[in-house]
Structure 1
Amino acid sequence: MLGSKMNVILRAVTFVALTTAALAATLPPPPATPSEPTSDVVQGVNVADPYRWLEDWSNPKVQAWSEAQNKRTRAYLDGLRSQRPVSDELMRLVSATSPAFFDLKPRGPVVFATYSDPKLQQPVIVTMNAAADPATKKVVLDPNALDASGHIAVDWYVPSHDGSKIAASLSKDGSEDGTLHVFDVATGKEIDTPIPRVQYPTAGGSLAWAPDGKGFWYTRYPGPDAPEADRHFNMQVYFHVLGSDAAKDELVLSTKDGLERVSEIFLDNEQNLPTVLARVQKGDGGIWAHYVLTRGKPSVRIGRHEDEIVYAAFGPNGAVYGVSRKGASNGFVVKLDKIAPDGFAAAKVLVPQTDVAIQTTNESGLSFSKDRLFVNDIVGGPNQVRIFTLDGKPEGKLPLPEIAANHEIVELADGRILFGVTTYLRPYFYDSWDPKTGKVEETALKVVSPVKFDDATVTRVFATSKDGTKVPLNIIMKKGTKLDGNNPTLLYGYGGYGVSQNPNFLGALRRLWLDAGGIYVIANIRGGSEYGEKWHQDGMLTKKQNVFDDFYAAGQYLIDNKYTSHTKLALMGGSNGGLLMGAEITQHPDLAHAVVSAVGIYDMVRVELDPNGSFNTTEFGTVKNPDQFKALYAYSPLHHVVAKTAYPAVLMTTGATDGRVNPMHSRKFTAALQAASSSGLPILLRTNMHAGHGIGSSLSDRIAEQTDMLCFLFDQLGMEWHK
């Protein structure tokens, strides 16, 4: 897509003044980091790798080095006078926020939901009545009861169609390494033997119930008998009968059916049909095939890669609806009335392409009621939702605010449509739409937060990138802010995998940022799908440099237009956005004064050697391809650190159990920057030993990380925070 709660005694006035110079003087030097004459020849190029030894986490020297880095980082962060008051305020604001319901799943007489209560370390699974009245909430699965420390998380859950059972993947310490458990909803008791290896960060995991609720299709990775190198690849689909031995489960979709080593499988039977749709992505690059699975029959592949169907789902009428991008960057909707091999190749167009893109990455793009189709579009960042009959007749749009995002659309038993909405300035809420009357009402399913942004404005402007492309920026600042070039400004970006930066509620962290005099900016750079698949493709593979150019242009726009200055600008990003941070640090070390980079990728030459890195090659490319290697090596942050360069202050964060991005990237990049920087500004590495990529982290871990990030930035930009 964040910690533990404490009751905080409200103080009449809290004043935090930050003095960077005094703290920098007390910061101990980095631990000694030997460099070794290690190198590889790749595509005829000698690639130096002096910190290769930091890759081996089993090496006690690496663990000791990481612990020493953590101690140094804590010495800096814990020495900041802002640390306690910022932590207390974040906890106060989170504690005073109402619980949130999301991921609604109507089943039989109840509606299931994920329920996030600020008093709990982890979200829980609950039911409500058929009208989705939050007052009828009942807890079904509480991972906090399994581990009070908050280190067990629900990766995903799927209720049976009659609402009597749920299947859920549970994992520990943010690892996303999930085991499947099945629970009886009425009693809360586990009713089947757990099945391991159903979920991992490389390809995720999925499940779809049979209509009778006596079994389900599910994904599973190879067992302990498989070679170590294969255990997080080669996902396959099995059918399990409740009460039977999982070791004897029927294999229903495998390499014999065309699955690949890096296949990612998503199973769908939301319509409670005797057949299941399997959406199969080749790695992470948006290349899809589609299969229909029926018990006792061979699988039927209805869509191949070349059909360019990027999303598909069964409709309530038994037809298969798909979003095609064949010759159409923005996508169009097709309908397949009859299940047949390669049927999508001849599917009829139901909703033609328009000048806006159908969103298929962050959300499904298609949702259904019993007699309607909802098409979710993305318009440069914000969303719109078009309404059609199942035969494609247009019926207008759902009423959304002007700059908003929609994340869910579900039909209740009485025919009302619930749709989730969020904006930059308002937290998540659900409206209901009555198709019979057209009446729209706000429901009781809404988040009430003490965090208010009545004093803030949202402005969309456009920066011009190196090649002339116009890049949207969403600027959030207090009303009346003077554009004198003296405002601390935090610029956030991602730019990859077709993941778009939709409007989302700013929350406690960004409230504190504005209160300290800051401006917050989100850049809709290429690599996402804000303007369709072309916007994504222009920021992937050999065109990845466009992403970095867009972000640099965004930062320069803010400086040129007096929002901020080089000495008052900070950058933030995580994961693929961490790669973005690494590229900006090495390509434009003078752009910003401070950078926060979380769980980032920095060694583009060796990233594909990790399990999840192999899935990333469809997005980044591979060093095995000469042209792609040339592009990868040209921007790989680790390989462009230059000695005696004045690098900005950097806080890098990583998690020891991260299965998506190997923490070695953060270790090696930290070592390189620490050895090279001549600025005297801190280069810090923060490793959480009980967290992974951030998904499934406990509430206390998330609050602690947010506190560290804010305090680091406040200190480096000389900001004062008043409460």
Structure 2
Amino acid sequence: MTQAASPPPAYPATRKDALVETLFGEAIADPYRWLENDVRSDPEVADWVERQNALTARYLAGLPQRDWLRARIRDLMNHERFGLPVRAGGRYFYMRNAGLQNQAQLFVRKGLSGKPRLLVDPNAWAADGATALDAWKPSRDGRFLLYSVQDGGSDWRTLKVLDVGSGEVLGDTVRWAKFTHLDWVGSEGFLYSRFPEPAPGEAFQQRSYNQTVWFHRLGTDQAADELVHATPDHPELGHAAQVTADGRWAVITTSSGTDARHAIHLIDLKARRKGQWLVRELVGGMDHDWQLVESLNGTMWFLTNQGAPLYRLVSIDPAAPVPQWHEVVVESADKLEHAAVVGDKLVLNYLRDASSRAVVLDLAGQAASEIALADIGTASGFHGEPGDPETFYAFTSFNRPSSIYRLDLATGKSQVFAQPELGFDPDQFVVEQRFYASKDGTRVPLFLVRGKAAAAAGKPVPTLLYGYGGFDVSLTPAFAASRLAWLEAGGAFALANIRGGGEYGRAWHDGGRLANKQNVFDDFIAAAEYLIADGITTARQLAVQGGSNGGLLVGAVVNQRPDLFAAANPQVGVMDMLRFDRFTAGRYWVDDYGHPDREADFHVLRAYSPLHNIASGKAYPAILVTTADTDDRVVPGHSFKYTAALQAAPIGNQPHLIRVETRAGHGSGKPTDKAIEESADVLAFLAAATGLNVPAGASGMQRR
């Protein structure tokens, strides 16, 4: 009998209130609403979290797989990792982690062969490593660097500036930025987006309204910043500003939620006078997606799904008396994910069945040549500006950590710029793409990864199935040390590209949201059934995992088919579908989920909400809920309430526990040591429940 099959320790007592509301004629009990309170300011919630964490820690400490997994994940992460270089003013800026540093450092060098110089080291910012360097942007002359600081995993950002030559951090400090682009107006200052300063004690729960675009002039206080664009009559609208490489235009992209529906406004910086920001509309209506590509010599390019669900590339002369759109690259059978003007070329990145392909064309959209990529995987980057001699891109797959390549645009040849030394042999793992039929017959892609020995044996093995299925997000092949450790122990990993994502454009997204959300759960359940029917695994060996919207996915499918899984890990999940829009960024999500205060949407949400559909009387799998105290994207109250409801329900003797990370948020900025500990804890829990046995007497393979 596995560790997880034993009855868990007694759960900590949780206060249960007699709170019932009538919503659209239905009585909805909410006995754990008090757990929505901020854990940082409510002593009772903090005490509940402390007692839950103590129970979970005791349980995890007894799992025999934990030490090996921790050591192996640590070893697999202990290799040099590089980010994509950015060229500005003859300097190249790039991120680098030596291996196990809590935060990657930012380096600069003069020219490609120049000596690297450490420019920003966030590891010195906090004793616990939980303060991170987030976004950064050099001025186009390479003289200054604008960067954002993330503390404790929060979505809030503080903006700073340093002099690249001296390394001195300037006195400019901007607070309350969130969901912002960073871009320079020459070297005089920068554009950014911020929200009003939250009320005292509300920074981590207050809903996000009234985002505005501001200009900060170097050497001045934030109070002197100039208001560039605001819509006070429509507080639900968000705005982000970019500056074109030619310095001519500021482009403001406006949205109302998470949907790819935008309005575009322009500011002619050539005609700007100090303190004046004359904004004019280029695209109105917010009916389609419009993504700025670049502006050069009177031509501005955009990606759009207007009349093209898989996207096309169009151009316009924004200064013309009557601007007219021209099609440059027509819609193809593959989804057009990204485009850039680099040198005198167009570089396009496509998605074909959730795997990357990339091409280079001239500025008229002709003379295409394919960029050779290694088999199944994800290519990203391809950034740059007109006049640049090269572009850089990263390539990764499930069995290959990210390598950085430099593409010489004159020759069309790619060369390795940075490649990690690996502590394993990638060729010992098999990466396959398969397709299966969902409940309604829809053909759904699935990636399956196994060690060669496990694939050759043809026997069912413990399998980890991952999914997301929402917000037009595409899941593509990527390396994770924790997944490889699972594979080395003899397990299999599967990733299902279910509806709701963006893998096949607008139709795929629409097929899994709002009233169609059940398709997402059906697709994921069908993936599990396929893995079992094909002999990859069994229901007693299958674990499911997903984060954020994927946490909702895991909670919903476990409620609907608890018999299908041995273990589940909903991470930072949206679990209360009747109140998600009341906190921080939740109000944006109505585009995918619907409005809880509208009757038709309420009934759809009520039917699958993980919190409200726990099936009493059925035997549930082992469940480890994971969240963090500073998650102000999906507030931890979702996971707190869901865990309390699981522990109170008669759903069998498997453990239903929660792990709450401190000084961490929704995921970004998490220090390496916290990431290793969390991954080891989660995989040890899933391994115990599925019967995965780690190699005996070893801490992992040696570096080759």
TM-score of the aligned structures, taking structure 1 as reference length: 0.90
| Alignment match, 1:9 | none
- Structure 1 residue 40: Cα displacement: 2.0
Letter in 2 for 1:632: L
Call closer, same or farther: CA 1:579–1:127 in 2, change over 3 Å.
same
Alignment of 1:103-114 (within 5 A): 103-114=84-95
Call closer, same or farther: CA 1:577–1:615 in 2, change over 3 Å.
same
| Alignment match, 1:261 | 235
- Structure 1 residue 619: Cα displacement: 1.8
| Alignment match, 2:75 | 92
* Contiguous gaps of at least 5 residues in structure 1: 1-17, 360-364
Letter in 2 for 1:209: W
Alignment of 1:205-354 (within 5 A): 205-211=180-186, 213-223=187-197, 232-255=208-231, 260-269=234-243, 271-293=245-267, 294=269, 295=272, 296-306=276-286, 308-339=288-319, 343=323, 346-354=324-332
Instruction: Name which of 575, 586, 599 aligns with 1:626.
Output: 599
| Alignment match, 1:45 | 26
Matched, 1:357 2:338: no
Q: Please list every run of at least 4 consecutive aligned residues from structure 1 whose deviation after the TM superposition is greater than 6 angstroms.
A: none
| Alignment match, 1:129 | 110
The answer as to whether partners of 2:500 and 2:508 remain within 8 angstroms in 1 is yes
Instruction: Name which of 446, 467, 471 aligns with 1:497.
Output: 471
SS in 1 for 2:562: coil
- Structure 1 residue 130: Cα displacement: 2.6
The answer as to whether partners of 2:624 and 2:659 remain within 8 angstroms in 1 is yes
Call closer, same or farther: CA 1:515–1:60 in 2, change over 3 Å.
same
Alignment deviations for residues 60-110 of structure 1 (CA, whole Å, 9 cap, x no partner): 222211111111100100122322232222222322x12x22143210111
Matched, 1:556 2:529: yes
Instruction: Name which of 25, 30, 53 aligns with 2:11.
Output: 30
In structure 1, C-alpha distance between the alignment counterparts of 2:594 and 2:555, rounded to whole Å: 18
Letter in 2 for 1:68: R
In structure 2, C-alpha distance between the alignment counterparts of 1:24 and 1:187, rounded to whole Å: 61
The answer as to whether partners of 2:377 and 2:397 remain within 8 angstroms in 1 is yes
Call closer, same or farther: CA 1:630–1:327 in 2, change over 3 Å.
farther
- Structure 1 residue 379: Cα displacement: 0.9
- Structure 1 residue 307: Cα displacement: 5.2
Instruction: Name which of 42, 45, 52 aligns with 1:62.
Output: 45
In structure 1, C-alpha distance between the alignment counterparts of 2:682 and 2:321, rounded to whole Å: 52
Instruction: Name which of 149, 156, 160 aligns with 2:139.
Output: 160
The answer as to whether partners of 1:358 and 1:378 remain within 8 angstroms in 2 is yes
| Alignment match, 1:15 | none
In structure 2, C-alpha distance between the alignment counterparts of 1:62 and 1:433, rounded to whole Å: 53
SS in 2 for 1:76: helix
SS in 1 for 2:653: coil
Greater Cα shift, 480-489 or 47-56? 480-489
The answer as to whether partners of 2:173 and 2:221 remain within 8 angstroms in 1 is no
In structure 2, C-alpha distance between the alignment counterparts of 1:571 and 1:130, rounded to whole Å: 46
In structure 1, C-alpha distance between the alignment counterparts of 2:368 and 2:503, rounded to whole Å: 24
In structure 2, C-alpha distance between the alignment counterparts of 1:225 and 1:69, rounded to whole Å: 30
The answer as to whether partners of 2:86 and 2:384 remain within 8 angstroms in 1 is no
In structure 2, C-alpha distance between the alignment counterparts of 1:366 and 1:512, rounded to whole Å: 35
The answer as to whether partners of 2:302 and 2:315 remain within 8 angstroms in 1 is yes
| Alignment match, 2:175 | 196
The answer as to whether partners of 1:501 and 1:530 remain within 8 angstroms in 2 is yes
In structure 1, C-alpha distance between the alignment counterparts of 2:207 and 2:169, rounded to whole Å: 27
The answer as to whether partners of 1:109 and 1:163 remain within 8 angstroms in 2 is yes
| Alignment match, 2:559 | 586
The answer as to whether partners of 1:39 and 1:46 remain within 8 angstroms in 2 is yes
Call closer, same or farther: CA 1:486–1:472 in 2, change over 3 Å.
same
SS in 1 for 2:49: helix
In structure 1, C-alpha distance between the alignment counterparts of 2:360 and 2:610, rounded to whole Å: 45
Q: Name the Cα RMSD after superposition.
A: 2.2
| Alignment match, 2:701 | none
How many residues matched?
A: 684
The answer as to whether partners of 2:551 and 2:573 remain within 8 angstroms in 1 is yes
Letter in 2 for 1:577: G
Matched, 1:520 2:493: yes
* Contiguous gaps of at least 5 residues in structure 2: 699-704
- Structure 1 residue 684: Cα displacement: 0.7
- Structure 1 residue 668: Cα displacement: 0.8
SS in 1 for 2:247: coil
Greater Cα shift, 176-185 or 549-558? 176-185
The answer as to whether partners of 2:212 and 2:238 remain within 8 angstroms in 1 is no
| Alignment match, 1:3 | none
Percent identical across equivalent pairs? Answer: 34
Alignment deviations for residues 645-664 of structure 1 (CA, whole Å, 9 cap, x no partner): 21110011000000100101
Call closer, same or farther: CA 1:440–1:55 in 2, change over 3 Å.
closer
In structure 2, C-alpha distance between the alignment counterparts of 1:318 and 1:706, rounded to whole Å: 50
In structure 2, C-alpha distance between the alignment counterparts of 1:435 and 1:330, rounded to whole Å: 26
- Structure 1 residue 618: Cα displacement: 1.4
SS in 2 for 1:491: strand
- Structure 1 residue 367: Cα displacement: 1.3
In structure 2, C-alpha distance between the alignment counterparts of 1:309 and 1:512, rounded to whole Å: 39
In structure 1, C-alpha distance between the alignment counterparts of 2:28 and 2:321, rounded to whole Å: 47
